[in-house]
A and B are shown apart, each in its own frame.
Chain A
Amino acid sequence: MSDPLLQIKDLHVHYGAIHAIHGINLNVQEGEIVTILGSNGAGKTTTLHTISGLLKPSSGEILFDGKPIHKMEANKIVAEGVAQSPEGRMVFPDLTISENLDMGAFLRRDKEGIEKDREYMCQLFPKLKERAKQLAGTLSGGEQQMLAIARAYMANPKLLLLDEPSLGIAPILVQAIFDAVVEINKKGTTILLVEQNAFAALKIAHRAYVLTTGEIGMEGPAKELLENEEIQKAYLGH
Protein backbone atom coordinates (compact mmCIF):
# COMPACT_ATOMS: atom_id res chain seq x y z
CA MET A 1 0.00 0.00 0.00
CA SER A 2 1.18 3.52 -0.75
CA ASP A 3 1.65 6.05 2.03
CA PRO A 4 -1.68 7.25 3.40
CA LEU A 5 -2.92 10.72 2.45
CA LEU A 6 -3.77 11.36 6.08
CA GLN A 7 -2.00 9.70 8.94
CA ILE A 8 -2.86 10.31 12.60
CA LYS A 9 -0.38 8.88 15.07
CA ASP A 10 -1.06 8.49 18.79
CA LEU A 11 -3.03 11.73 18.97
CA HIS A 12 -3.95 13.25 22.34
CA VAL A 13 -6.11 16.37 22.65
CA HIS A 14 -7.06 18.25 25.80
CA TYR A 15 -9.52 21.00 26.58
CA GLY A 16 -7.78 22.42 29.62
CA ALA A 17 -7.91 19.53 32.08
CA ILE A 18 -10.38 17.52 29.99
CA HIS A 19 -8.65 14.75 28.09
CA ALA A 20 -10.90 14.46 25.02
CA ILE A 21 -8.80 12.29 22.66
CA HIS A 22 -6.74 9.47 24.17
CA GLY A 23 -4.10 8.44 21.68
CA ILE A 24 -5.90 7.59 18.47
CA ASN A 25 -4.31 6.18 15.31
CA LEU A 26 -6.08 6.59 12.00
CA ASN A 27 -5.21 6.46 8.30
CA VAL A 28 -6.98 7.61 5.20
CA GLN A 29 -5.74 6.41 1.81
CA GLU A 30 -6.06 8.54 -1.27
CA GLY A 31 -9.40 7.98 -2.99
CA GLU A 32 -11.16 6.47 0.03
CA ILE A 33 -14.28 7.42 1.92
CA VAL A 34 -13.46 6.75 5.56
CA THR A 35 -16.02 7.30 8.28
CA ILE A 36 -15.57 7.96 11.98
CA LEU A 37 -18.63 6.79 13.91
CA GLY A 38 -19.41 7.53 17.50
CA SER A 39 -22.13 8.80 19.75
CA ASN A 40 -22.47 12.32 21.05
CA GLY A 41 -19.38 13.45 22.94
CA ALA A 42 -17.15 10.65 21.62
CA GLY A 43 -14.59 13.10 20.27
CA LYS A 44 -15.43 13.19 16.55
CA THR A 45 -15.56 16.97 16.20
CA THR A 46 -12.48 17.32 18.38
CA THR A 47 -10.62 15.02 15.98
CA LEU A 48 -11.68 16.98 12.89
CA HIS A 49 -10.90 20.31 14.56
CA THR A 50 -7.44 19.04 15.35
CA ILE A 51 -6.85 17.87 11.77
CA SER A 52 -7.98 21.29 10.54
CA GLY A 53 -5.72 23.06 13.03
CA LEU A 54 -8.47 24.74 15.05
CA LEU A 55 -7.20 22.75 18.04
CA LYS A 56 -3.61 21.80 18.78
CA PRO A 57 -2.80 18.29 20.00
CA SER A 58 -1.12 17.86 23.37
CA SER A 59 0.91 15.06 21.80
CA GLY A 60 1.01 12.90 18.71
CA GLU A 61 1.32 13.69 15.03
CA ILE A 62 -0.84 14.39 12.04
CA LEU A 63 0.77 13.86 8.64
CA PHE A 64 -0.87 15.01 5.45
CA ASP A 65 0.77 13.84 2.26
CA GLY A 66 3.66 12.84 4.52
CA LYS A 67 4.03 16.37 5.92
CA PRO A 68 3.38 17.18 9.60
CA ILE A 69 0.50 19.66 9.83
CA HIS A 70 -0.41 19.54 13.52
CA LYS A 71 1.54 22.68 14.38
CA MET A 72 0.26 24.71 11.44
CA GLU A 73 -2.32 27.50 11.62
CA ALA A 74 -5.78 26.46 10.47
CA ASN A 75 -5.78 28.77 7.44
CA LYS A 76 -2.44 27.30 6.29
CA ILE A 77 -3.80 23.76 6.48
CA VAL A 78 -6.50 24.71 3.97
CA ALA A 79 -3.72 25.75 1.61
CA GLU A 80 -2.20 22.26 2.04
CA GLY A 81 -5.41 20.75 0.64
CA VAL A 82 -7.63 19.95 3.61
CA ALA A 83 -11.10 21.53 3.66
CA GLN A 84 -13.87 21.02 6.18
CA SER A 85 -17.61 21.30 6.25
CA PRO A 86 -18.03 21.89 9.99
CA GLU A 87 -20.63 20.56 12.40
CA GLY A 88 -23.71 22.76 12.42
CA ARG A 89 -22.79 23.90 8.88
CA MET A 90 -21.64 27.39 9.88
CA VAL A 91 -22.54 28.94 6.55
CA PHE A 92 -22.13 32.72 6.61
CA PRO A 93 -25.74 33.84 7.07
CA ASP A 94 -25.25 37.46 5.97
CA LEU A 95 -23.42 36.50 2.79
CA THR A 96 -25.23 35.31 -0.31
CA ILE A 97 -24.91 31.72 -1.44
CA SER A 98 -22.65 32.83 -4.22
CA GLU A 99 -20.47 34.79 -1.78
CA ASN A 100 -20.31 31.76 0.53
CA LEU A 101 -18.93 29.77 -2.39
CA ASP A 102 -16.43 32.59 -3.06
CA MET A 103 -15.29 32.24 0.54
CA GLY A 104 -14.68 28.53 0.01
CA ALA A 105 -12.36 29.44 -2.87
CA PHE A 106 -10.72 32.21 -0.84
CA LEU A 107 -7.13 31.04 -1.42
CA ARG A 108 -7.52 30.15 -5.09
CA ARG A 109 -6.42 32.33 -7.99
CA ASP A 110 -7.32 29.99 -10.87
CA LYS A 111 -10.49 31.72 -12.10
CA GLU A 112 -11.30 28.99 -14.62
CA GLY A 113 -10.89 26.21 -12.10
CA ILE A 114 -13.08 28.07 -9.63
CA GLU A 115 -15.81 28.56 -12.22
CA LYS A 116 -15.64 24.90 -13.19
CA ASP A 117 -16.02 23.79 -9.58
CA ARG A 118 -18.84 26.26 -9.01
CA GLU A 119 -20.65 24.85 -12.05
CA TYR A 120 -20.11 21.33 -10.79
CA MET A 121 -21.49 22.15 -7.32
CA CYS A 122 -24.51 23.88 -8.85
CA GLN A 123 -25.15 20.81 -10.95
CA LEU A 124 -24.80 18.55 -7.90
CA PHE A 125 -26.98 20.84 -5.74
CA PRO A 126 -29.28 22.74 -8.15
CA LYS A 127 -30.81 24.73 -5.27
CA LEU A 128 -27.53 26.59 -4.93
CA LYS A 129 -27.82 27.88 -8.47
CA GLU A 130 -31.48 28.89 -8.17
CA ARG A 131 -30.76 30.85 -5.00
CA ALA A 132 -27.30 32.16 -5.77
CA LYS A 133 -28.20 35.75 -4.84
CA GLN A 134 -30.13 34.84 -1.69
CA LEU A 135 -28.62 35.23 1.78
CA ALA A 136 -27.43 31.90 3.13
CA GLY A 137 -29.28 32.54 6.38
CA THR A 138 -32.58 32.16 4.53
CA LEU A 139 -31.88 28.56 3.47
CA SER A 140 -33.37 25.52 5.18
CA GLY A 141 -31.08 23.31 7.26
CA GLY A 142 -30.68 20.78 4.46
CA GLU A 143 -29.87 23.45 1.91
CA GLN A 144 -27.36 25.02 4.28
CA GLN A 145 -25.71 21.62 4.61
CA MET A 146 -25.42 21.35 0.85
CA LEU A 147 -23.95 24.84 0.76
CA ALA A 148 -21.46 23.97 3.49
CA ILE A 149 -20.25 20.92 1.54
CA ALA A 150 -20.11 22.86 -1.73
CA ARG A 151 -18.25 25.70 -0.01
CA ALA A 152 -15.64 23.27 1.32
CA TYR A 153 -15.36 21.68 -2.12
CA MET A 154 -14.65 25.10 -3.63
CA ALA A 155 -11.25 25.03 -1.91
CA ASN A 156 -10.39 22.21 -4.33
CA PRO A 157 -9.16 20.02 -1.47
CA LYS A 158 -7.39 16.68 -1.70
CA LEU A 159 -9.11 15.70 1.55
CA LEU A 160 -12.63 16.78 2.43
CA LEU A 161 -13.67 16.55 6.08
CA LEU A 162 -17.42 16.34 6.72
CA ASP A 163 -18.73 16.72 10.26
CA GLU A 164 -22.17 15.13 10.66
CA PRO A 165 -23.77 16.25 7.41
CA SER A 166 -26.97 14.41 8.36
CA LEU A 167 -27.43 16.25 11.67
CA GLY A 168 -30.95 17.67 11.99
CA ILE A 169 -31.85 17.15 8.35
CA ALA A 170 -34.92 15.57 6.76
CA PRO A 171 -34.30 11.91 5.76
CA ILE A 172 -34.95 12.60 2.06
CA LEU A 173 -32.27 15.25 2.00
CA VAL A 174 -29.88 13.02 3.93
CA GLN A 175 -30.06 10.54 1.06
CA ALA A 176 -29.43 13.29 -1.50
CA ILE A 177 -26.47 14.58 0.47
CA PHE A 178 -24.89 11.15 0.86
CA ASP A 179 -25.37 10.49 -2.86
CA ALA A 180 -23.57 13.75 -3.57
CA VAL A 181 -20.72 12.74 -1.25
CA VAL A 182 -20.28 9.51 -3.25
CA GLU A 183 -20.29 11.55 -6.48
CA ILE A 184 -17.63 13.90 -5.17
CA ASN A 185 -15.51 10.97 -4.07
CA LYS A 186 -15.83 9.27 -7.47
CA LYS A 187 -14.54 12.46 -9.06
CA GLY A 188 -11.37 12.03 -7.08
CA THR A 189 -11.69 13.76 -3.68
CA THR A 190 -10.78 11.73 -0.63
CA ILE A 191 -13.34 11.96 2.15
CA LEU A 192 -13.27 11.65 5.92
CA LEU A 193 -16.86 11.57 7.10
CA VAL A 194 -17.86 11.91 10.75
CA GLU A 195 -21.32 10.58 11.57
CA GLN A 196 -23.71 9.46 14.26
CA ASN A 197 -25.95 8.11 11.54
CA ALA A 198 -23.90 4.92 11.29
CA PHE A 199 -26.12 3.11 8.86
CA ALA A 200 -26.06 5.84 6.18
CA ALA A 201 -22.34 6.38 6.64
CA LEU A 202 -21.38 2.70 6.51
CA LYS A 203 -23.36 2.24 3.30
CA ILE A 204 -21.17 4.72 1.43
CA ALA A 205 -17.81 4.34 3.21
CA HIS A 206 -14.96 2.03 2.32
CA ARG A 207 -13.62 1.80 5.86
CA ALA A 208 -14.78 2.88 9.28
CA TYR A 209 -13.45 3.68 12.75
CA VAL A 210 -15.64 3.63 15.82
CA LEU A 211 -14.74 6.25 18.38
CA THR A 212 -15.81 5.74 22.00
CA THR A 213 -14.95 8.41 24.58
CA GLY A 214 -11.82 9.49 22.80
CA GLU A 215 -10.53 6.02 21.88
CA ILE A 216 -10.88 3.89 18.79
CA GLY A 217 -12.87 0.86 19.80
CA MET A 218 -13.19 -0.84 16.46
CA GLU A 219 -12.06 -0.40 12.89
CA GLY A 220 -12.38 -2.22 9.60
CA PRO A 221 -14.01 -2.30 6.18
CA ALA A 222 -17.43 -0.66 6.24
CA LYS A 223 -19.15 -3.83 4.97
CA GLU A 224 -17.82 -5.85 7.87
CA LEU A 225 -18.92 -3.26 10.41
CA LEU A 226 -22.40 -3.22 8.89
CA GLU A 227 -22.60 -6.96 9.61
CA ASN A 228 -21.07 -6.68 13.06
CA GLU A 229 -23.52 -7.51 15.86
CA GLU A 230 -22.02 -5.13 18.39
CA ILE A 231 -22.28 -2.29 15.93
CA GLN A 232 -25.80 -3.24 15.03
CA LYS A 233 -26.81 -3.18 18.68
CA ALA A 234 -25.03 0.01 19.55
CA TYR A 235 -25.59 2.16 16.48
CA LEU A 236 -27.98 0.61 14.04
CA GLY A 237 -30.87 0.00 16.37
CA HIS A 238 -31.18 -3.73 15.65
Chain B
Amino acid sequence: MSTGTESDFVYFLYDLATYLLNGITQGSVYALVALGYTMVYGIIKLINFAHGEFYMIGAFIGFFCIRSGMPLWMAFPCAMIGSGMVAVIIERIVYRPIRYAGRIPALITALGTSLFFQYFGQNTLGADPKAFPKVTDFENKTYQFGELFVSTNQIVIISTTFILMVFLYWLVNHTRTGKAMRATSFDKNAAELMGIDTNKIISFTFFVGASLAGAAGVLVGMYYNTVEPMMGLIPGLKAFVAAVLGGIGIIPGAVLGGLVLGIAENLVVGFWVSTYRDAIAFGILILILLLKPAGLLGKNRKEKV
Protein backbone atom coordinates (compact mmCIF):
# COMPACT_ATOMS: atom_id res chain seq x y z
CA MET B 1 0.00 0.00 0.00
CA SER B 2 1.57 3.24 -1.12
CA THR B 3 0.02 6.60 -0.41
CA GLY B 4 2.38 8.04 -3.01
CA THR B 5 0.59 6.46 -5.95
CA GLU B 6 -2.77 7.34 -4.45
CA SER B 7 -2.00 11.02 -4.25
CA ASP B 8 -0.45 10.83 -7.73
CA PHE B 9 -3.77 9.58 -8.89
CA VAL B 10 -5.64 12.37 -7.11
CA TYR B 11 -3.37 14.93 -8.76
CA PHE B 12 -3.92 13.28 -12.09
CA LEU B 13 -7.66 13.69 -11.56
CA TYR B 14 -7.24 17.37 -10.68
CA ASP B 15 -5.12 17.85 -13.78
CA LEU B 16 -7.69 16.08 -15.86
CA ALA B 17 -10.50 18.18 -14.42
CA THR B 18 -8.51 21.37 -15.06
CA TYR B 19 -7.83 20.43 -18.68
CA LEU B 20 -11.45 19.45 -19.19
CA LEU B 21 -12.64 22.73 -17.72
CA ASN B 22 -10.23 24.72 -19.88
CA GLY B 23 -11.23 22.58 -22.84
CA ILE B 24 -14.92 23.19 -22.32
CA THR B 25 -14.31 26.92 -21.92
CA GLN B 26 -12.32 27.10 -25.11
CA GLY B 27 -14.62 24.64 -26.84
CA SER B 28 -17.60 26.86 -26.02
CA VAL B 29 -15.95 29.69 -27.89
CA TYR B 30 -15.13 27.46 -30.86
CA ALA B 31 -18.71 26.21 -30.81
CA LEU B 32 -20.20 29.71 -30.84
CA VAL B 33 -18.09 30.66 -33.84
CA ALA B 34 -18.59 27.29 -35.54
CA LEU B 35 -22.38 27.70 -35.37
CA GLY B 36 -22.25 30.64 -37.75
CA TYR B 37 -20.02 28.75 -40.16
CA THR B 38 -22.35 25.82 -40.19
CA MET B 39 -25.57 27.83 -40.42
CA VAL B 40 -24.35 29.89 -43.34
CA TYR B 41 -23.01 26.78 -45.05
CA GLY B 42 -26.30 25.00 -44.40
CA ILE B 43 -28.34 27.72 -46.02
CA ILE B 44 -26.25 28.82 -49.03
CA LYS B 45 -23.41 26.27 -49.18
CA LEU B 46 -20.86 29.04 -48.67
CA ILE B 47 -17.74 28.47 -46.60
CA ASN B 48 -17.61 31.97 -45.20
CA PHE B 49 -13.93 32.36 -44.46
CA ALA B 50 -14.65 35.91 -43.31
CA HIS B 51 -16.69 34.54 -40.43
CA GLY B 52 -13.80 34.87 -37.95
CA GLU B 53 -13.86 38.61 -38.60
CA PHE B 54 -17.34 38.90 -37.09
CA TYR B 55 -15.80 37.52 -33.93
CA MET B 56 -13.11 40.22 -34.08
CA ILE B 57 -15.70 42.91 -34.83
CA GLY B 58 -17.83 41.76 -31.89
CA ALA B 59 -14.78 41.90 -29.62
CA PHE B 60 -14.01 45.46 -30.72
CA ILE B 61 -17.58 46.66 -30.35
CA GLY B 62 -17.56 45.17 -26.85
CA PHE B 63 -14.19 46.83 -26.23
CA PHE B 64 -15.46 50.30 -27.20
CA CYS B 65 -18.77 49.91 -25.39
CA ILE B 66 -17.17 48.82 -22.15
CA ARG B 67 -14.45 51.45 -22.41
CA SER B 68 -17.15 54.09 -22.74
CA GLY B 69 -18.50 52.90 -19.41
CA MET B 70 -21.29 50.52 -20.47
CA PRO B 71 -21.94 47.58 -18.20
CA LEU B 72 -21.35 44.16 -19.72
CA TRP B 73 -25.02 43.26 -19.87
CA MET B 74 -25.52 46.18 -22.28
CA ALA B 75 -22.22 45.94 -24.14
CA PHE B 76 -22.77 42.27 -24.86
CA PRO B 77 -26.04 42.62 -26.84
CA CYS B 78 -24.62 45.70 -28.58
CA ALA B 79 -21.66 43.63 -29.79
CA MET B 80 -23.96 40.84 -30.94
CA ILE B 81 -26.31 43.17 -32.81
CA GLY B 82 -23.41 45.18 -34.26
CA SER B 83 -21.52 42.21 -35.66
CA GLY B 84 -24.81 40.74 -36.90
CA MET B 85 -25.55 43.95 -38.79
CA VAL B 86 -22.09 44.05 -40.35
CA ALA B 87 -22.69 40.49 -41.57
CA VAL B 88 -26.07 41.43 -43.06
CA ILE B 89 -24.45 44.30 -44.97
CA ILE B 90 -21.61 42.06 -46.18
CA GLU B 91 -24.07 39.43 -47.35
CA ARG B 92 -26.13 42.03 -49.18
CA ILE B 93 -23.33 43.85 -50.99
CA VAL B 94 -20.64 41.16 -51.33
CA TYR B 95 -22.07 37.64 -51.26
CA ARG B 96 -25.52 38.07 -52.77
CA PRO B 97 -24.31 39.38 -56.14
CA ILE B 98 -22.07 36.31 -56.58
CA ARG B 99 -24.41 33.76 -55.00
CA TYR B 100 -24.82 31.80 -58.22
CA ALA B 101 -21.34 32.40 -59.62
CA GLY B 102 -20.02 29.07 -58.30
CA ARG B 103 -17.98 27.89 -55.37
CA ILE B 104 -14.51 29.07 -56.26
CA PRO B 105 -15.51 32.72 -56.82
CA ALA B 106 -17.44 32.58 -53.54
CA LEU B 107 -14.45 31.20 -51.68
CA ILE B 108 -12.10 33.81 -53.08
CA THR B 109 -14.59 36.56 -52.26
CA ALA B 110 -14.84 35.30 -48.69
CA LEU B 111 -11.05 35.27 -48.33
CA GLY B 112 -10.91 38.78 -49.76
CA THR B 113 -13.57 39.98 -47.33
CA SER B 114 -11.62 38.46 -44.48
CA LEU B 115 -8.40 40.22 -45.50
CA PHE B 116 -10.30 43.45 -46.00
CA PHE B 117 -11.51 43.44 -42.40
CA GLN B 118 -8.12 42.44 -41.01
CA TYR B 119 -6.29 45.23 -42.81
CA PHE B 120 -9.08 47.76 -42.37
CA GLY B 121 -8.90 46.99 -38.65
CA GLN B 122 -5.12 47.39 -38.57
CA ASN B 123 -5.35 50.70 -40.42
CA THR B 124 -8.05 52.28 -38.34
CA LEU B 125 -7.43 50.73 -34.94
CA GLY B 126 -3.71 49.99 -35.11
CA ALA B 127 -2.14 46.55 -35.29
CA ASP B 128 -1.10 46.44 -31.64
CA PRO B 129 -3.14 44.42 -29.14
CA LYS B 130 -5.29 46.52 -26.83
CA ALA B 131 -6.02 45.76 -23.21
CA PHE B 132 -9.67 44.88 -22.78
CA PRO B 133 -11.21 47.25 -20.24
CA LYS B 134 -12.40 45.90 -16.92
CA VAL B 135 -16.10 45.21 -16.84
CA THR B 136 -17.94 47.02 -14.11
CA ASP B 137 -20.68 44.45 -13.50
CA PHE B 138 -18.62 41.89 -11.65
CA GLU B 139 -15.16 41.04 -10.47
CA ASN B 140 -13.23 38.13 -11.93
CA LYS B 141 -12.77 35.94 -8.86
CA THR B 142 -11.23 32.52 -8.66
CA TYR B 143 -12.91 29.75 -6.76
CA GLN B 144 -10.94 26.82 -5.48
CA PHE B 145 -12.23 23.26 -5.25
CA GLY B 146 -9.32 21.23 -3.90
CA GLU B 147 -6.69 21.78 -6.56
CA LEU B 148 -9.20 22.79 -9.23
CA PHE B 149 -9.48 26.52 -9.90
CA VAL B 150 -12.56 27.95 -11.55
CA SER B 151 -12.76 31.61 -12.54
CA THR B 152 -15.81 33.81 -12.85
CA ASN B 153 -14.82 34.39 -16.47
CA GLN B 154 -14.97 30.67 -17.19
CA ILE B 155 -18.37 30.44 -15.57
CA VAL B 156 -19.57 33.42 -17.61
CA ILE B 157 -18.25 31.94 -20.86
CA ILE B 158 -19.72 28.50 -20.31
CA SER B 159 -23.09 29.70 -19.03
CA THR B 160 -23.49 32.41 -21.67
CA THR B 161 -22.69 29.89 -24.38
CA PHE B 162 -25.20 27.49 -22.91
CA ILE B 163 -27.94 30.14 -22.80
CA LEU B 164 -27.23 31.23 -26.38
CA MET B 165 -27.39 27.63 -27.57
CA VAL B 166 -30.70 26.99 -25.85
CA PHE B 167 -31.99 30.17 -27.47
CA LEU B 168 -30.71 29.07 -30.88
CA TYR B 169 -32.26 25.64 -30.46
CA TRP B 170 -35.60 27.23 -29.66
CA LEU B 171 -35.28 29.66 -32.58
CA VAL B 172 -34.47 27.01 -35.16
CA ASN B 173 -36.85 24.33 -33.97
CA HIS B 174 -39.83 26.12 -32.54
CA THR B 175 -40.37 29.37 -34.39
CA ARG B 176 -41.90 30.16 -37.75
CA THR B 177 -38.66 31.80 -38.86
CA GLY B 178 -36.68 28.76 -37.72
CA LYS B 179 -38.86 26.47 -39.79
CA ALA B 180 -38.40 28.81 -42.73
CA MET B 181 -34.62 28.60 -42.20
CA ARG B 182 -34.76 24.83 -42.31
CA ALA B 183 -37.00 24.90 -45.38
CA THR B 184 -34.65 27.35 -47.14
CA SER B 185 -31.59 25.27 -46.35
CA PHE B 186 -33.26 22.23 -47.89
CA ASP B 187 -34.20 23.94 -51.14
CA LYS B 188 -34.55 27.62 -51.96
CA ASN B 189 -37.09 27.12 -54.73
CA ALA B 190 -39.29 24.90 -52.60
CA ALA B 191 -39.15 27.49 -49.83
CA GLU B 192 -40.04 30.32 -52.21
CA LEU B 193 -43.06 28.29 -53.31
CA MET B 194 -44.27 28.47 -49.69
CA GLY B 195 -44.16 32.25 -49.88
CA ILE B 196 -40.92 32.42 -47.90
CA ASP B 197 -38.73 35.38 -48.83
CA THR B 198 -35.51 33.36 -48.93
CA ASN B 199 -33.33 36.46 -49.28
CA LYS B 200 -34.63 37.69 -45.95
CA ILE B 201 -34.08 34.29 -44.37
CA ILE B 202 -30.51 34.21 -45.67
CA SER B 203 -29.86 37.71 -44.28
CA PHE B 204 -31.30 36.64 -40.97
CA THR B 205 -29.08 33.55 -40.90
CA PHE B 206 -26.00 35.72 -41.43
CA PHE B 207 -27.22 37.97 -38.66
CA VAL B 208 -27.68 35.17 -36.16
CA GLY B 209 -24.42 33.43 -37.06
CA ALA B 210 -22.37 36.62 -36.85
CA SER B 211 -23.99 37.74 -33.61
CA LEU B 212 -22.98 34.42 -32.01
CA ALA B 213 -19.43 34.98 -33.25
CA GLY B 214 -19.58 38.54 -31.90
CA ALA B 215 -20.66 37.18 -28.52
CA ALA B 216 -17.69 34.82 -28.56
CA GLY B 217 -15.41 37.76 -29.37
CA VAL B 218 -16.48 39.71 -26.30
CA LEU B 219 -16.17 36.66 -24.07
CA VAL B 220 -12.65 35.97 -25.32
CA GLY B 221 -11.68 39.63 -25.01
CA MET B 222 -12.63 39.40 -21.35
CA TYR B 223 -10.94 36.06 -20.88
CA TYR B 224 -7.56 36.90 -22.40
CA ASN B 225 -7.82 40.62 -21.67
CA THR B 226 -6.76 41.70 -25.15
CA VAL B 227 -8.28 42.47 -28.53
CA GLU B 228 -6.51 43.03 -31.85
CA PRO B 229 -7.52 43.17 -35.52
CA MET B 230 -5.96 39.79 -36.39
CA MET B 231 -7.59 37.97 -33.49
CA GLY B 232 -10.24 36.37 -35.72
CA LEU B 233 -7.82 34.44 -37.89
CA ILE B 234 -6.87 31.39 -35.81
CA PRO B 235 -10.18 31.01 -33.93
CA GLY B 236 -11.96 31.38 -37.29
CA LEU B 237 -9.93 28.52 -38.75
CA LYS B 238 -10.42 26.41 -35.63
CA ALA B 239 -14.16 27.05 -35.71
CA PHE B 240 -14.19 26.00 -39.35
CA VAL B 241 -12.44 22.79 -38.31
CA ALA B 242 -14.99 22.34 -35.51
CA ALA B 243 -17.88 22.79 -37.94
CA VAL B 244 -16.43 20.26 -40.39
CA LEU B 245 -15.61 17.92 -37.52
CA GLY B 246 -19.23 17.90 -36.34
CA GLY B 247 -20.60 17.69 -39.87
CA ILE B 248 -20.88 21.00 -41.69
CA GLY B 249 -24.42 22.28 -42.06
CA ILE B 250 -25.55 20.40 -38.95
CA ILE B 251 -26.21 22.73 -36.02
CA PRO B 252 -25.65 20.28 -33.13
CA GLY B 253 -22.54 19.14 -35.00
CA ALA B 254 -20.96 22.58 -34.60
CA VAL B 255 -21.47 22.44 -30.84
CA LEU B 256 -20.09 18.92 -30.59
CA GLY B 257 -17.18 19.72 -32.92
CA GLY B 258 -16.30 22.83 -30.92
CA LEU B 259 -16.31 20.99 -27.61
CA VAL B 260 -14.38 18.00 -28.95
CA LEU B 261 -11.77 20.28 -30.43
CA GLY B 262 -11.43 22.46 -27.32
CA ILE B 263 -11.15 19.46 -25.00
CA ALA B 264 -8.77 17.53 -27.26
CA GLU B 265 -6.47 20.52 -27.61
CA ASN B 266 -6.29 21.07 -23.88
CA LEU B 267 -5.77 17.41 -23.07
CA VAL B 268 -2.98 17.05 -25.59
CA VAL B 269 -1.31 20.28 -24.54
CA GLY B 270 -1.74 19.48 -20.85
CA PHE B 271 -0.54 15.92 -20.82
CA TRP B 272 1.82 15.93 -23.73
CA VAL B 273 3.24 18.85 -25.72
CA SER B 274 2.19 22.43 -26.13
CA THR B 275 4.27 23.33 -29.16
CA TYR B 276 1.81 21.77 -31.57
CA ARG B 277 -1.32 23.32 -30.10
CA ASP B 278 -2.63 24.77 -33.37
CA ALA B 279 -1.58 21.77 -35.42
CA ILE B 280 -3.66 19.50 -33.20
CA ALA B 281 -6.89 20.90 -34.57
CA PHE B 282 -5.93 20.01 -38.09
CA GLY B 283 -4.54 16.63 -37.06
CA ILE B 284 -7.89 15.76 -35.49
CA LEU B 285 -9.69 17.05 -38.53
CA ILE B 286 -7.70 14.89 -40.92
CA LEU B 287 -8.14 11.85 -38.70
CA ILE B 288 -11.91 12.22 -38.36
CA LEU B 289 -12.41 12.98 -42.02
CA LEU B 290 -10.50 9.82 -42.91
CA LEU B 291 -12.74 7.76 -40.63
CA LYS B 292 -15.99 9.63 -41.11
CA PRO B 293 -15.90 11.94 -44.13
CA ALA B 294 -19.25 13.61 -43.39
CA GLY B 295 -18.18 14.57 -39.85
CA LEU B 296 -19.21 13.20 -36.48
CA LEU B 297 -22.95 13.79 -36.91
CA GLY B 298 -23.01 13.82 -40.69
CA LYS B 299 -25.04 11.34 -42.62
CA ASN B 300 -23.37 10.25 -45.81
CA ARG B 301 -26.48 11.22 -47.68
CA LYS B 302 -27.03 10.24 -51.23
CA GLU B 303 -27.25 13.27 -53.47
CA LYS B 304 -30.78 14.05 -54.55
CA VAL B 305 -31.38 13.70 -58.27
- Where the two chains meet, the residues of A that have a C-beta atom closer than 8 Å to any C-beta of B are 49, 52-54, 73-75, 78-79, 83-84, 86, 88, 90, 92-95, 99, 102-104, 106-107, 151-152, 155
Contacts and interface: CB of A to CB of B under 8 A. Distances in A.
Interface in B177-210: 179-180, 182-183, 186-187, 189-198
Q: Among the interface residues B176, B193, B305, which one has the most CB atoms of the partner chain A within 10 A?
A: B193
A151 B183 CA distance: 13
A193 B186 CA distance: 25
Nearest to A82: B193
Given A75-B197, A75-B198, A106-B176, A54 B192 contact: yes
A83 B197 contact: no
Interface residues of B, number: 18
A180 B187 CA distance: 26
Contact of B180 (A90, A103, A104): A103
Given A88-B305, A155-B194, 9 more contacts: A73-B192, A86-B190, A86-B193, A90-B187, A90-B193, A92-B186, A92-B187, A93-B186, A95-B182
Interface of B: 176, 179-180, 182-183, 186-187, 189-198, 305
B132 to A, nearest CB: 40
Contact of B195 (A86, A90, A155): A155
Given A90-B187, A93-B186, A83 B179 contact: no
Contacts of B186: 92-94
Given A94-B182, A95-B182, A78 B194 contact: yes
Nearest to A136: B186
A83 B190 CA distance: 11
A79 B183 CA distance: 18
A94 B186 CA distance: 8
B193 A52 contact: yes
Contacts of A74: 189, 192-193
Query: Ordered nearest first, which 4 A-B pairs have the shortest CB separation?
Result: A78-B195, A74-B192, A107-B195, A90-B190
A78 B198 CA distance: 13
A155 B195 CA distance: 9
A99 B179 contact: yes
A164 to B, nearest CB: 14
